[in-house]
């Protein structure tokens, strides 16, 4: 037994024996996961971020009764008036004007203008005529409250309008602006450090490949996926297949402030699969190593002595992406204060044949048939090295088959490509 393997045996005690089921492994990842760290930022910097505390309206929206149409405000005193009724005009109220005190029965008004005190209805200009003597005649019946936007009708002062855990999208920014909210309390982005391992990897796309070398697709993919999932990548690098180089890369991630460290490759059973030995040198507690899933079975999860979390993802590109999507993103949700993710349940478009005993994460595409019914198509090219099907996929179909064949029309769990993105619909 080598010194490194002896260290692994003595300091790493994975959870349970043999392969863990997905639910067991995910529970271990989320156990004692810290909640969000709160920071206060201007709304202009909040797009894409997650609220840490609820937003409560301090003002009403609309802030005052106002006209929904260009036309005339009428004083109806709660009664309807018939077409042909005539009113004496008493002035005009335009958007942006201060409140007017008007004694008459009718006043010209523009869309968005404050409805004067005592006036309770608006008739659109197209349903009126002005007589030569200056009176206003109605060409249609007018009901009380017609075409008036009431104060607080959209949002009432004191109302909770956004919950903690909600993502700020453009619509949310519009509501915050309308309410006059200048700053919000947000969950700080979890800080990630990424390390791609493999002496065969080439990062520079301009560099010619030597015999045996391949382009590094894992690192840019995971950096992008981390950003979409609401995290901040504070350090990312590629290192060779040596423990000292890996430990130096880990130290650079930690120095940059990484709270979650992620490596790709070197976690299986090959000669250069050194990550468990490197973790032993760090004094890490390996919580589990290998999960009953496909792809991504060799996934490793550990806790480092400083409290940071470590994920060792397999090196095959799709295995790495599945590990990130279904283990790291649930942890990010917890760190952002978001509720657990719930998949859609969609019918299979075609019969699916899988080997029972594993949880499968399948590249998939949601589709709408000619009758407007939504379903999920499992794509060809499910091997973990195949990247091209990801260009077509817009979702992951996930299932634990109990039989070798699952018929078309049976509902299965479908997840979006990222936990912050909705499930797409393809024609």
DSSP classification of residue 423? P
Find out whether 288 and 250 touch, Cβ atoms under 8 Å. Answer: no
Q: pLDDT tens-digit profile of 398-413?
A: 999 888 999 999 999 9
- The Cα 184–Cα 165 span in angstroms is 12
Q: Residue 427: pLDDT above 90?
A: no
Q: Spell out the domain ranges in the chain.
A: 3-37+189-336, 39-59+160-187, 66-149, 344-416
Find out whether 89 and 134 touch, Cβ atoms under 8 Å. Answer: yes
What's the residue count for the chain?
Answer: 427
Find out whether 314 and 301 touch, Cβ atoms under 8 Å. Answer: no
Find out whether 293 and 22 touch, Cβ atoms under 8 Å. Answer: yes
Q: 3-37+189-336 with 66-149: one CATH topology?
A: no
Q: What average pLDDT does the structure give for the chain?
A: 92
Question: Tell me, what's the pLDDT at 425?
Answer: 53
CA angle, 354 as apex, 348 and 359 as ends, to 5°? 90
Question: Tell me, what's the pLDDT at 14?
Answer: 55
Going by their DSSP bridges, the two strands 359-368 and 395-399 should be labelled as antiparallel
Phi-psi region for residue 306, left (φ > 0), alpha (ψ -120 to 50) or beta? alpha
Backbone phi and psi for residue 240, each to the nearest 5 degrees, phi listed first: -80, -165
Backbone phi and psi for residue 215, each to the nearest 5 degrees, phi listed first: -75, 145
* Class (C level, CATH) for 344-416: mainly beta
Rg (CA), the chain: 31
Backbone phi and psi for residue 286, each to the nearest 5 degrees, phi listed first: -80, 115
DSSP classification of residue 51? B
Find out whether 362 and 378 touch, Cβ atoms under 8 Å. Answer: yes
Q: Residue 12: pLDDT above 50?
A: no
Backbone phi and psi for residue 184, each to the nearest 5 degrees, phi listed first: -135, 155
- The Cα 318–Cα 388 span in angstroms is 10
If pLDDT is split at 50, 70 and 90, which confidence band does 331 have? very high
What percent of the chain is predicted at pLDDT more than 70?
A: 94
Q: Residue 5: pLDDT above 50?
A: no
Other residues' Cβ atoms within 10 Å of the Cβ of residue 227: 16
Find out whether 102 and 92 touch, Cβ atoms under 8 Å. Answer: no
Q: Residue 170: pLDDT above 50?
A: yes
- The Cα 27–Cα 299 span in angstroms is 15
Query: Under CATH, which number does the domain 39-59+160-187 receive?
Result: 3.90.105.10
CATH of 3-37+189-336, one of 3.40.50.720, 3.50.30.50, 3.40.980.10, 3.40.50.12280: 3.40.980.10
Q: pLDDT tens-digit profile of 17-44?
A: 568 999 999 999 999 899 999 999 999 9
Q: pLDDT tens-digit profile of 173-224?
A: 999 999 999 999 999 999 999 999 999 999 999 999 999 999 999 999 999 9
- The Cα 77–Cα 142 span in angstroms is 12
Q: pLDDT tens-digit profile of 304-325?
A: 999 999 999 999 999 999 999 9
Averaged over 72-87, what is the pLDDT?
94
Q: Residue 171: pLDDT above 50?
A: yes
Q: Residue 370: pLDDT above 90?
A: no
Token reading at 213: 């070398």
If pLDDT is split at 50, 70 and 90, which confidence band does 99 have? confident
The domain defined by 66-149 folds into: Molybdopterin biosynthesis moeA protein; domain 3 (2.170.190)
If pLDDT is split at 50, 70 and 90, which confidence band does 391 have? very high
If pLDDT is split at 50, 70 and 90, which confidence band does 268 have? confident
Averaged over 137-142, what is the pLDDT?
96
Least confident of 169-183, 250-264, 270-284: 270-284
């Amino acid at each position: 037994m080598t010194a490194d393997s002896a260290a692994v045996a003595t300091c790493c005690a994975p959870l349970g024996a043999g392969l863990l089921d997905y639910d067991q492994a995910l529970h271990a990842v989320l156990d004692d996961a810290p909640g969000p760290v709160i920071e206060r930022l201007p709304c202009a910097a909040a797009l894409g971020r997650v609220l840490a505390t609820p937003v409560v309206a301090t003002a009403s929206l609309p802030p005052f009764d106002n006209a929904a149409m260009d036309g005339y405000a009428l004083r109806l005193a709660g009664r309807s008036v018939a077409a042909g009724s005539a009113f004496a005009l008493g002035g005009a109220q335009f958007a942006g004007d201060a409140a007017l005190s008007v004694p008459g029965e009718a006043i010209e008004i523009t869309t968005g203008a404050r409805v004067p005190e005592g006036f309770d209805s608006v008739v659109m200009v197209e349903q009126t005529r002005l007589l030569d003597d200056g009176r206003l005649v109605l060409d249609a019946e007018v009901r009380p409250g017609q075409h008036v936007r009431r104060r607080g009708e959209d949002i009432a002062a004191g109302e909770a309008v956004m919950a903690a855990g909600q993502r700020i999208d453009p619509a949310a920014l519009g509501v915050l602006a309308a309410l006059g909210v200048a700053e919000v309390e947000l969950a700080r982005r979890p800080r990630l450090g990424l390390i791609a391992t493999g002496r065969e990897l080439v990062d520079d796309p301009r560099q010619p490949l030597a015999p045996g070398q391949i382009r590094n697709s894992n690192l840019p993919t995971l950096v992008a996926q981390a950003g979409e999932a609401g995290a901040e990548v504070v350090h990312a690098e590629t290192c060779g297949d040596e423990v000292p180089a890996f430990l130096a890369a880990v130290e650079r991630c930690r120095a940059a402030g990484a709270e979650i460290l992620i490596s790709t490759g070197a976690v299986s059973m090959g000669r250069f699969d050194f990550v468990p030995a490197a973790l032993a040198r760090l004094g890490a507690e390996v919580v589990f190593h290998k999960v009953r899933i496909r792809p991504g079975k060799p996934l490793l999860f550990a806790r480092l002595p400083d409290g940071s979390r470590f994920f060792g993802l397999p090196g095959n590109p799709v295995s790495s992406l599945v590990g990130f999507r279904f283990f790291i993103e649930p942890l990010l949700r917890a760190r952002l204060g978001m509720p657990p993710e719930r998949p859609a349940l969609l019918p299979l478009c075609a019969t699916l044949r899988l080997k029972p005993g594993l949880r499968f994460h399948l590249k998939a595409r949601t589709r709408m048939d000619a009758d407007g019914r939504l379903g999920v198509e499992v794509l060809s090219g499910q091997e973990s090295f195949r990247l091209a099907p990801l260009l077509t996929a817009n979702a992951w179909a996930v299932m634990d088959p109990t039989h070798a064949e699952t018929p078309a029309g049976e509902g299965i769990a479908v997840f979006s490509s990222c936990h912050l993105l909705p499930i797409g619909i393809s024609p």
